[in-house]
Amino acid sequence: MTKSVNRDETAYRERHFGLVARCVDLDRRAWDEFVREFTGLVYFAIAHAARRRQAQLDDDTVADLHNAIFLSFLEDDCRRLRQFSGRCSVSNWIKVVAVNATIDHLRRRRPEILSDELPEQIPAAYRELLNEVDSPEEQLSDRQRSDQLQRALAQLTSQERLFVEYFYRDGLDLPQIAAIFGISAGAVYARKHRVLKKIGHLVLDDTGERQIAADNPSDRSTAPNCED
């Protein structure tokens, strides 16, 4: 039974790989099949990404995003399709593309949407993230640390934030993330190191700016108008 399932999965993946190759060759029938095959997945990915960020998208916006995502596969002589590495399934790859496009749309529409997710008490997954980042303020309350992390995450790129969510919030391991992004496990490890370092710098910069503000409070008094 297991061998039969494995054969079916292999055939399924190979059919999708072939479909991508035919689309690159500008086969119109293949493109129509590609859209029919993955249109439901793209709609699901858009809705999932918006829901996880507590954002509301109307039907017209969802339809526009769906169409824009598919058109992006054809842009620049099918550059995105040509870049497909085959190291993960076509379905996972398309889901990542759709989620990233939705995150980018939400960031352009209202940047604060992407920083609304943390409650006052830091979730255990994100607490692990904070523990891995060198924070200079050990005495901060959970609320303060949550705010600080929100500000740092809001400054990450969509790819970096998606990586953080997969690893720290969803609990995926490095090989799983490697398969989703279509990169090697070593590249995932290096990306994790870079993202943690970037968050650490952002937290440090945030702490420094707030300390400067505390040391130099602005004078809120109203100066007399000498021209009166």
- Neighbouring residues of 175: CB distance < 8 A, sequence distance ≥ 6: 185, 188
Helix axes 90-109, 59-72, angle to 10 degrees: 130
How far is 76 from 201, CA to CA, in rounded Å?
36
What span, in angstroms and rounded, lies between the C-alpha atoms of 112 and 4? 48
CA separation (Å) from 207 to 76, 122, 204?
43, 18, 5
Give the side-chain half-sphere CA count within 13 A for 72: 15
What Å distances lie between residue 8 and 3, 14, 51, CA to CA? 9, 10, 32
Q: What is the pLDDT of residue 212?
A: 44
Query: What is the set of domains in the chain, with CATH numbers?
Result: 1-116 (1.10.1740.10), 117-214 (1.10.10.10)
Q: For residues 96 and 162, is the Cβ–Cβ distance under 8 A?
A: yes
Which pLDDT does position 127 carry in this prediction? 61
Query: Between residues 143 and 1, which one has the greater pLDDT?
Result: 143
- pLDDT band of residue 133 (cuts 50, 70, 90) is low
pLDDT at 27 over 70: yes
Instruction: Give 17's pLDDT tier (boundaries 50, 70, 90).
Output: very high
pLDDT tens-digit map of 87-114: 778 888 898 889 888 888 887 775 444 4
> Region 57-61: what's the mean pLDDT?
89
Q: Mean pLDDT for the chain?
A: 75
Structure tokens at 217: 């409070």
Please check whether residue 38 is in contact with residue 94, taking contact to mean a CB–CB distance below 8 angstroms. yes
What average pLDDT does the segment 40-49 reach?
A: 90
Verdict on whether the full-model pTM lies above 0.75:
no
Q: What is the pLDDT of residue 88?
A: 79
| Residue of 152, 90, 84 lying closest to 122 (CA atoms) | 152
Q: When comparing pLDDT for 87 and 221, which is higher? A: 87
pLDDT band at 29 (very low <50, low <70, confident <90, very high): very high
Q: Give the pLDDT band of residue 8 (cuts 50, 70, 90).
A: low
CA dist., res. 19 & res. 36, Å (int)? 12
Lowest mean per-residue pLDDT among 4-13, 66-75, 115-124, 167-176: 115-124
What was the pLDDT predicted at 112?
43
